Amino acid sequence: GEHWRISHDKGMGWNTWLRFKMKAIFEWSVLAHWAELRDVRWYVYVDDDTYVVGSALLPLLRRYDPDVPHYFGRPLQEEGFPAFVGGGAGIVLSRAAARIILPLSLEAEFCDPLNLKWGDRIHQGGDAWLGDCAENAGVVSEMEYGFYPQPPVGNLFHLYADAACFHGVEDHKEMHASLAAYKQTNASTRRASLEHYDARCVPVFVDHKYTCLPHFIIGGVPKAGTTSLYKYLMEHPEVL
């Protein structure tokens, strides 16, 4: 909040601020002199509304060698620009990848958050900034399942057995309780797991995420209030 206000007062737009924020977090985490961070094997960057399933993430990381460059999560692609890992669902860098990217982050012109190229991009945030630096450093983004850009829809937890991260979780305590209750209730059989999801939801997997097929559609145009209307509707207990 305060950092954004100061940046905004200096004429810095929101996405520019996000690029500077990602640059600062990345460089600080790799250069930190804390003993706990000196021997770190993996860097995992998440938002404050990202719920991390540690019991799934740690076994996933053990499948990879941290001394080999790895950069993975849920990749996004914009035509004509390098692929990058979307930040909300979680970004994972091995220490080898981080050390390769770091010198470019500190000095290279194409890693400058104020580079003019950003005016031509659709994706202009911090995750795209890291993706550009990684690409120029020769670190290619990899796809890894389990990084979901939204919480489970309709309590369909059985579809997310590979989940390492959920983005868009506003109440971490409630999410933790729901996940724990699901595991306890449905530990015995798959049939039991199917009895607790919302029957109104017909799930479909699109763009590396599950969503419910719509029962109705509200059309709109930019700046017409459709986002606010969506949020108001989502507050109703009978709306998924």
Model pLDDT for residues 12-56, shown as the tens digit of each residue: 788 898 999 999 999 999 988 777 677 899 999 999 999 999 999
Instruction: Give the model's confidence band at 208: pLDDT under 50 very low, under 70 low, under 90 confident, else very high.
Output: low
- Choose from 84-93, 169-178, 179-188 the range with maximum mean pLDDT: 84-93
Percent of the chain surpassing pLDDT 70: 82
Computed over every residue of the chain, the mean pLDDT equals: 83
- Choose from 4-18, 163-177, 218-232 the range with maximum mean pLDDT: 163-177
Beta strands in the chain (DSSP E): 42-45, 51-52, 71-73, 75-76, 84-85, 91-94, 142-143, 147-148, 165-166, 203-206, 209-212
Residue 121, pLDDT above cutoff 80: yes
Strand partners, 167: none
Instruction: Give the model's confidence band at 156: pLDDT under 50 very low, under 70 low, under 90 confident, else very high.
Output: confident
Instruction: Give the model's confidence band at 215: pLDDT under 50 very low, under 70 low, under 90 confident, else very high.
Output: confident
**pTM to 2 decimals?**
0.75
Q: For position 25, what pLDDT does the model report?
A: 93
Rounded distance between C-alpha atoms, residue 27 and residue 130, angstroms = 11
Percent of the chain surpassing pLDDT 90: 38
Residue 5, pLDDT above cutoff 60: no
Residue 240, pLDDT above cutoff 70: no
Residue 148, CA distances (Å) to 73, 101, 167 in order: 9, 25, 6
Q: For position 39, what pLDDT does the model report?
A: 80
Tokens standing for 31? 């250069």
Q: For position 98, what pLDDT does the model report?
A: 95
Instruction: Give the model's confidence band at 178: pLDDT under 50 very low, under 70 low, under 90 confident, else very high.
Output: confident
Average pLDDT over every residue of 110-116? 87
Rounded distance between C-alpha atoms, residue 233 and residue 240, angstroms = 9
Judged by phi (left if over 0) then psi (alpha if -120 to 50, else beta), residue 171 lies in beta
